[in-house]
Structure 1
Amino acid sequence: MTTVTTRTVEYPADGLTMVGHLALPAGTGRRPAVLVGPEGPGLNDFQRRRADALAELGYVAMAFDINGGRWFTDPEEMLAYVMPMLADPDRMRGIGHAALDVLRAEPRTDPDRIGAVGYGTGGAIALELGRDGVDFRVIATVNALTTGRPGEAARIRCPVWVGVGSEDPIMPPAQRDAFTAEMQAAGVDWRLVVYGGAAHAFHHPSVGHAVRPGVAHHELHARRAWNDVVNLLAECLPVTAQAA
């Protein structure tokens, strides 16, 4: 296992002080970087560990914040906070750009080789950054099949991968169809993986029971989705010998 250095980073966004988690790989040279977006309840140790795991693979990784350091335990309180955000593409882009600026400013980051991996709300933010023309090398989202404003998906310049559970009531087949139609019409290089039998938030290990109907962890598909994301990064954003 390689040595990973981590630190907390605070930065302003959305009228709040965001508290992100930056993970740096061993070495001193510039590396490809990954922006890691959390689901609606906020940034917790799950995404921090994901950033650390990416740093072990050789990436500079930053798990960003969307709630000003909060973690919502009440689903209704979380939805009251998140739903207006998801309805406001410009607000999502502002939150995403603020985090991206921090990642780009890190001296270890190769600013020309950045990707995004997002879960739920964080995935929706990653997609909005793509629709805003950010020059990502790849965008991967889990449980985020949000569509954008008409025509703006044409600004996405990289492959897009999305993973969703077949039994996710928040991202049902009609939503999948709308998203893939948007990507196809825009000429995006897109992929959709549907994990059979999985519900919403299937990737998150702390969701061992139905916090809300249709929300449950699926251990096998959680591992598969992570492996799919890692393989996608290896394809689209490889850590080359030159970067090491």
Structure 2
Amino acid sequence: MTTVTTRTVEYPADNLTMIGYLALPAGAESRPAVLIGPEGMGLSDVERRRAEALAELGYVALAFDLHGGRYLEDPEEMLARCMPLLADPDRMRGIGHAALNVLRAESRADPDRTAAVGYGTGGAVALELGRDGVDLRAIGTVNALTTGRPGEAARIRCPVWAGVGSEDPIMPPAQREAFTAEMQAAGVDWRLVVYGGALHAFHHPPVDHTVPPGVGYHPRHAQRAWRDIVALLAECLPVTD
């Protein structure tokens, strides 16, 4: 196992002091870099471990923050913050750009070889970076089939991979259709994987607080979705020695 170095990084965004989690692979050479966006509750050990896993594969990885260092366990508090955020593409882009600037400023990161992956609200942020025309090599999202402002998906400059549970009540078939129609009309190289029987946040291991209805962990599909994201990065942002 290679040695991974980690540290927290503070940076301003959305009128808050964000606390991200940076994971660096062994060595001193420049490496491709990946942003990781969390679910609506906020940055947790789930995303921190994913950053470490990507660093093990040779990527510089930054799991970014949504709520100024807070993890919103109360579903009502989470929705009260996330719903206005999801309705405001410019706010999402601000959060994404702030994190991307931190990642690209890291001396080990190749600023010209970056990707963005995210879950739920963090995935919506990744998509908005694409719709803002950011030079990314890949975008991967789970539970984030959000659509954007008319015509702006044409600015996406990289392949988009999206995963969703077939039984996700927050991202139902109508939302899937709207998302894929937007991607197709914009000429994006897109893929959608529907994981049979899975609910919303199926990738997220069980938590010790109340979760909304329609949310549930699916271990097999969680592993499959992670493998699919790793394969997307291997295809579009390979690590070369």
TM value normalised by structure 1: 0.97
1:178, distance to aligned residue in structure 2 (A): 0.2
The one-letter code matched in structure 2 to 1:92 is M
Deviation track 1:186-209 (CA, whole Å, cap 9, x = no partner) reads: 000000000000000000012489
- Superposed, 1:6-25 pairs within 5 Å as 6-25=6-25
Cα distance in 1 for partners of 2:111, 2:104 equals: 6
Runs of 4+ in 1 over 4 A off after TM superposition: 207-210
- C-alpha RMSD of matched pairs (Å): 1.0
* SS class of match (1:146): coil
Corresponding residue pairs, total: 241
In the alignment, the residues of structure 1 paired with residue 236 and residue 183 of structure 2 have an alpha-carbon distance, to the nearest angstrom, of 18
Matches within 5 A, 1:27-176: 27-176=27-176
**Within 5 Å, which residues of 2 pair with 1:205-244?**
205-207=205-207, 211-241=211-241
Secondary structure, counterpart of 1:168 in structure 2:
coil
Q: Deviations over 1:34-77 (max 9, x none)?
A: 00000100001000000000000000000000100000111011
Deviation at 1:211, TM superposition (A): 1.6
Q: Deviations over 1:77-123 (max 9, x none)?
A: 10001000000000000000000000010000001100011000000
Identity %: 81
SS in 2 for 1:198: coil
Map of 1:189 onto structure 2: 189
Farther off after superposition, 209-218 or 53-62:
209-218
Equivalent residues of 1:43, 1:63 under 8 A apart: yes
**Aligned equivalents of 2:202, 2:25: Cα separation in 1:** 28
Give the unaligned 5+ runs of structure 2. Answer: none
What residue ranges of structure 1 are gaps of 5+ in the alignment? Answer: none
TM-score (norm: length of structure 2): 0.98
Look up the equivalent residue of 2:110 and give its one-letter code.
D
Q: Which residue of 2 aligns with 1:199?
A: 199
Q: Tell me, in whole angstroms, the C-alpha distance in 1 between the residues paired with 2:12 and 2:77.
A: 22
Q: Distance in 2 between matches of 1:103 and 1:210?
A: 33
